[in-house]
Structure 1
């Protein structure tokens, strides 16, 4: 099972509200990367503000997940 599937199952089991946003590969990456190598899937998981703290606690031990804190509104 890949990281995305694990993350989805974890969030669904814990009733975390989220949205997955896929990142497009750059033109140069598609041009020179081709299909020869298996590339990592890049996506951003956006979590409902009310669930951020709980979701952060759930994923902190997953090595394949990088957390990025949202910018503060000023």
Structure 2
């Protein structure tokens, strides 16, 4: 994987925060910390896209039906008994 150099301007508070994360020993360098933040943001965005897709599928799946809580509980109990 090729690396690209970027320059960021941080406030003093932000810079102190990044330094603190490195000094805590969780990250070896500022760059490692920033890359970790980007990876986490990418994961959050992927999960959000998956959720949005599921919501859209749910909305387009047709008219909702009332829930039968008793049937749901019975099915859950049946699964629990089968798992034992």
TM-score between the two structures when normalised by the length of structure 2: 0.24
User: Which protein has greater RCO, CA pairs closer than 8 Å, 6+ apart?
Assistant: 1
Structure (1 or 2) with the larger CA radius of gyration: 2
The structure that is helix-richer by fraction is 2
The structure that is strand-richer by fraction is 1
